[in-house]
Amino acid sequence: MEPTTLFDKIWDAHVVNKIEGGPSVLYIDRHFIHEVTSPVAFSGLEGRGLPLFRPQNTVATPDHNVPTIEQHLPIREELSRKQVETLTANCERHKIPMYGLSHKWHGIVHIIGPELGITQPGMTIVCGDSHTSTHGAFGAIAFGIGTSEVEMVFASQCILQPKPKKMRINVEGKLAQNVTSKDIALYVISKISTSGGTGHFVEFAGSAIRDLSMEARMTLCNMSIECGARGGMIAPDETTFAYLKGREEAPKGAAWDKKLAEWKKLKTDDDAVFDTEYTFDAVDITPMITYGTNPGMGVGVEGSIPTGDELAGSDKATFLKSLEYMGFHPGEKLKGKKIDYVFIGSCTNGRIEDFRLFADYIKGKKKASWVTAWIVPGSKQVEQQIREEGLVEIMESAGFALRQPGCSACLAMNDDKIPEGKYAVSTSNRNFEGRQGPGARTLLASPLMAAAAAVNGVISDPRD
Amino acid sequence: MIEKFIKIVSSAVPLPIENVDTDQIIPARFLKAVERKGFGDNLFRDWRYRKDGTPNPDFVLNNPKYSGTILVAGKNFGSGSSREHAAWSVYDYGFRVVVSSFFADIFKGNVLNNGLLPIQVTEEFLFEMFDTIEKDPTAAFEVDLEKQAIRNINKSTELQFDINPYKKECLLKGYDDIDYLLSLKNEITAFENSRV
Ligand code: SF4
């Protein structure tokens, strides 16, 4: 048999039909939905007079729009409230399990899927949110879809997809202390650019990747789409199985043993060929921070903003426009620059390990007086764990307050908006113009970098 | 059902900026509607309007010189989030064709699902289009989906473009993917049964 990749194995096992010269009909095992990209799909479905084909394969949570304080009160902002109410009504009508704001398992869609064991190796998973790639950390094919595609999955549990090309990104060796998987992500994107992965699905491999915890793998796969890829994945291994075992929706007893045997076969064959392959050395990666308006514009914290001298024409104009938005100059050092806001959270870095890292750093220190910090857990379970582990006390004595779960300042659809012109060190995934509020200036980094910035009030190296 | 797309002859609106991401096309704070309509009003919102809500006269959509159903944009158009609202807003504004030298994947898929044709052209052809429009904002371009060709009428230059044959068929006939998937219900159920 011809050697195949992990991606091929899962993809091929889900093809119901292939259109000659066209896309494949791909069966979807899990469909996550939230309040922003689902309402139009529901009304489309109902407009056609169709039922939801497989409601039991669908899971809903409101996350994008929700406030991160006083969640027990009705949502004040009218349009947000309407979207959440619409989701609730749609889920009731179509019998879709929903983890609403008051549910003990509420949280950001890409946090709760893995946390509840809904996300499993070998699955196909979609959601109307591009960071669905997070679930690829379990050795699943997971990717973001548009609302028309949400409607397709509602109607048929399938979508039409052309098979992407395959890319492997190897990271070999040992990561230095205080270097996280967020730094790997920002490093890789800075090397291959925000369009380097376009048309591809990425498999992350190599010893540095195998050494990552499950949560760190999720951070990396989450960011895979920022290099333009459809998604990223990591072959499941003992770390994956240990994480999954015993979770609410994970298989139990004999069913677990059977699944485990299947999951163990999910890996790329030795001689399988990728369309594109990159290899990086873990020792070259240092704590990263972005200085521009796309996630590829990142450097090591000790580095400087590029001069842009080698750029010409429209590339140069785009580069300068980006720096102008950020209020930075070519060639400047980033370390020591004053910042105004810090955001810890999102489906990129809103898990317990992220808050542990943060708490560990700030322990016994104090938040800089001029910094506003939003500490937003990714889910209720993460919030509870933060409390149980005593991290809240550490945060509070350092001058930080814990908020309630949601997407928050990651896309600033709720009230958590960074004011115009202010600098925010953010653990989220996108630093586009206006992403965190009109005129907001975002610097993407790891929770550790964010902790150091919050304490010192300036961009700092957590290793100092 | 989507609107049938066959042939368009129109002037074009130039947006010679690269890496225009979906947050620029439609900022997240405008994603709150529960219907598909009305997004055109907020297309390129933060470029199009000043902070006080008045139109920014420097932005191309506010310049009466330019009009037409073809949007011509710089490289890597539509990167960023998967929000289909970006495609709806471009369509709702009145565009039927977007030309660029490179498109982000999800955006390309989304626009095709909404009856909007993304045409990927060479850098050279793109620059020539920008140049033509700059010299004559009324210059017309012809897009023929059947022939898969885009023509710069002033310059008499033409370029063949690629489109997936299935998507082409859908656009020409005004079919959408759900009509097709629904015809496969039996196969899908058989597939499910074969896996347990
Ligand atoms: S945290 Fe950000 S990226 Fe993640 S689901 Fe929410 S909006 Fe999307």
Of A128, A146, A155, the CB nearest to B181: A155
CA dihedral sign, ordered A362, A365, A371, A374 = positive
| pLDDT for the residue numbered B109 | 84
Chain B, nearest residue to A295 by Cα: B80
**Nearest-neighbour CA in chain A from B91: distance (Å):** 14
The structure's pTM equals: 0.87
* Structural element, H or E, at residue A326: helix A313-326
Nearest to B106 among A144, A432, A433 (CB): A144
Rounded to an integer, what distance in angstroms lies between the CA atom of residue A70 and that of residue A75?
9
Searching chain B, which residue's CA lies closest to the CA of residue A39? B34
Instruction: Give me the tens of pLDDT residue by residue for chain A, a chain 464 residues long.
Output: 789 999 999 999 999 998 877 789 999 999 999 999 899 899 999 989 999 999 999 999 999 988 899 988 888 888 889 999 999 999 999 999 999 999 999 999 999 999 999 999 999 999 999 999 999 999 999 999 988 899 999 999 999 998 999 999 999 999 999 999 999 999 999 999 999 999 999 999 999 999 999 999 999 999 999 999 999 999 999 999 999 999 999 999 999 999 999 999 999 999 999 999 999 999 999 999 999 999 999 999 999 999 999 998 888 998 999 999 999 999 999 999 999 999 999 999 999 999 999 999 999 999 999 999 999 999 999 999 999 999 999 999 999 999 999 999 999 888 899 999 999 999 999 999 999 999 999 999 999 999 999 999 999 999 99
**Band of residue B1 on the pLDDT scale cut at 50, 70, 90:** low
Q: Is A384 on the interface with B (CB under 8 A)?
A: no
Per-residue pLDDT at A5: 98
CB contact (8 A) between residue B17 and residue A318 = yes
On whether any CB of chain B is under 8 Å from the CB of A433, the answer is yes
Could you tell me if A398 and B46 are in contact, meaning their C-beta atoms sit under 8 angstroms apart?
A: no
CA dihedral B73, B78, B79, B80 (to 10 degrees): 140
Q: Which of B51, B84, B85 to mutate against chain A (most A CBs within 10 Å)? A: B84
Nearest to A425 by CA among A302, A334, A342: A342
Q: Does the Cβ of A351 fall within 6 Å of ligand 1?
A: no
Q: Is the pLDDT confidence value at B82 over 80? A: no
From the alpha carbon of A110, which atom of ligand 1 is closest? 5
Tokens of A432: 């586009």
- Rounded to the nearest 10 degrees, how much is the dihedral formed by the CA atoms of A363, A368, A371, A376? 10
Residue with tokens 């024409």: A313
Give the HSE-up count for residue B70: Cα atoms under 13 Å, Cβ half-sphere.
27
Judge: B83–A65 Cβ closer than 8 Å, yes or no. no
Neighbouring C-beta atoms of residue A312, cutoff 10 Å? 9
Yes or no, beta carbons of A21 and B36 under 8 Å apart = no
Cβ–Cβ gap B177/A25 under 8 Å: no
Q: Are strands A200-205 and A165-172 parallel, antiparallel or unpaired?
A: parallel
Provide the pLDDT confidence category of residue B174 given band limits of 50, 70 and 90.
confident
Dihedral angle sign, alpha carbons of residues A411, A303, A297, A321: positive
Mean confidence (pLDDT) of chain B:
91
Contacts of B77 in chain A (CB under 8 A): none
Per-residue model confidence (pLDDT) at position B105: 81
Least confident of A46-60, B4-18, B165-179: B165-179
Q: Rounded distance, CA A230 to CA A164, Å?
A: 8
Please tell me the distance between residue A435's alpha carbon and the centre of ligand 1 in angstroms: 11
Does the beta carbon of A411 lie inside 6 Å of ligand 1? yes
- B-facing residues of A in 87-106 (CB < 8 A) are none
Report the gap between the CA of A54 and the closest CA in chain B (Å).
11
Ligand 1 contacts CB of residue A131 (under 6 A): yes
Q: A113 Cβ partners below 8 Å, 6+ apart?
A: A30, A32, A59, A119, A125, A134, A135
ipTM of the complex: 0.89
CB of A217 closer than 6 angstroms to any ligand 1 atom: no
Q: Give pLDDT, residue A301.
A: 97
Report how far residue B129's alpha carbon sits from residue B154's, in angstroms, rounded to the nearest whole number.
10
Ligand 1 within 6 A of CB of A129: yes
Indicate whether B175 pLDDT > 90: no
Residue that wins the pLDDT comparison between B195 and B150 = B150
Cα of B68 vs centre of ligand 1, distance in Å, is: 35
Q: Identify whether the C-beta of residue A447 lies closer than 8 Å to the C-beta of residue A180.
A: yes
Question: Cβ of A245: how many Cβ atoms within 10 Å?
Answer: 13
- Check B29 against A412: CB less than 8 A apart: yes
Interface of A with B in 249-308 (CB under 8 A): 294
In whole angstroms, what is the distance from residue B145 CA to residue B121 CA? Answer: 14
